[in-house]
Amino acid sequence: METSRVNLLDYDSAALAALLVEHGERGYRATQFIKWVHQQGVLDLAKMTNFGQALRDKLNEIGEIRLPEVINCFESTDGTMKWLLRVGNGAAIETVFIPEMDRGTLCVSSQVGCALNCSFCATAKQGFSRNLTTGEIIGQVWIAARHLGQHPKTQRRITNVVMMGMGEPLLNFDAVVPAMRLMLDDNAYNLGRKRVTLSTAGHVPGIERLRNECPVSLAVSLHAPNNPLRDELVPLNRTYPIAELLDACKRYVAENPHEHITFEYVMLDGINDTPEHARELVRILRGVPAKMNLIPYNPVVGADYRRSTPEAIDAFRRELSKAGLLTITRKTRGEDIDAACGQLVGQVQARSARQRKAQEELRA
């Protein structure tokens, strides 16, 4: 009986309205419910004061509100925060908040583990367990928003969400899109389309669907300027090679002349970081409205890479900038709590000591 009740967090506004109508209620109650839960942070039906007893009983019969459970919350010396969340059956996921002067970015997971097996990524090393539900995805935002709202320090508000946590969001499209609709919803998190970013390893059919169904900002993990190298680093490239991927990117921004794709590029010493790689990158990105994000590699247990030197990163950036490509180097944040790009895994406890050791080695 318990388990047959739906999770009311799995529904965006339109889907919740349809569900309520199906049960003989008025559709606008969905908006009210979403405001209570996501704007006010209220989960207790008894506190939803514009709902009569009959409606509360009905909602209670239809479903319940199930959130991931906070196992632990870590705070980095640089202010970055990370939550480890239990999502049932021994599985855990991570969510990261990155405060900056003028904004606060929440990095959200879409899957438990990942199936794509990128050679430099910690999440890949744990394999794929399952997709997250919409409720588990938006639940990460709910938990972080509540927690930050109670935080004593100021400037701790979520102004941006990036789907850059664990997993490949486009391989969990049907759960990710309703969660992003709630992020965009004025009655929920009210983030503009430019403030919600989905990052993909390059799943072309998913990019096409996203363009039609929920065109948020798009980031693409490029990491290499040619197919042989990209095949090795991002095995999904063997299915959707660079030319096809870049065509999909062009179509994604075609209707909006002011928009661009953000390309992520992990800087791996001696692998993809020479000036020649930069020039090759300039050539392939000709005609693609692009911004480049260089990400200094973060050490991962089981991967045999080194971070590019600051000089190599700088030379690479200058080569791209010289060609007119807007390029920034992403600042590494939250490294001391294993919250940096590519370091997220579910089972932190067992791995943390080794990870820390790997980082110490890197700094030495």
The amino acid that residue 78 corresponds to is D
342 binds ligand SAH (CB under 6 A): yes
Contact in structure between 182 and 189 (CB atoms under 8 Å): yes
Instruction: Tell me how far CA of residue 191 lies from CA of 23, 161, 187, 313, in angstroms.
Output: 30, 8, 10, 33
At 352, list the tokens: 């943390």
Q: Among residues 148 and 341, whose Cβ is nearest to ligand SAH?
A: 341
**Could you say which of 25, 94, 136, 319 is catalytic?**
94
Using the rule CB under 6 A, is 266 a contact of ligand SAH? yes
- Between CA 99 and CA 50 the distance in angstroms is 35
Is residue 143 close enough to count as binding ligand SAH by CB under 6 A? no
Q: Is 249 in the site for ligand SAH (CB under 6 A)?
A: no
Question: Length of the chain in residues, anyone?
Answer: 364
341 is a catalytic site residue: yes
Per CB under 6 A, 298 contacts ligand SAH: yes
Task: Choose, by CB under 6 A, the member of 94, 168, 273, 338 that binds ligand SAH.
Answer: 168
* Residue the block writes with tokens 């391989």: 171
Contact flag: residue 264 with ligand SAH (CB under 6 A):
yes
Shorter beta-carbon distance to ligand SAH: residue 12 or 264:
264
Binding-site member from 20, 106, 121, 348 for ligand SAH (CB under 6 A): 121
The answer to whether 73 is a known catalytic residue is no
3-state secondary structure of 292: strand
CB of 296 to ligand SAH, least distance (A): 7
Contact 295, 121 (CB under 8 A): no
Residue 325, interface with ligand SAH (CB under 6 A)?
no
Helix (H, G, I), strand (E, B) or coil at 164: coil
Please tell me the distance from the alpha carbon of residue 244 to that of residue 230, in angstroms, as a whole number: 13
Could you give the residue numbers annotated as active site?
94, 341
Site for ligand SAH, rule CB under 6 A: 118, 120-121, 164, 168, 199-201, 221, 264, 266, 295, 297-298, 300, 341-342
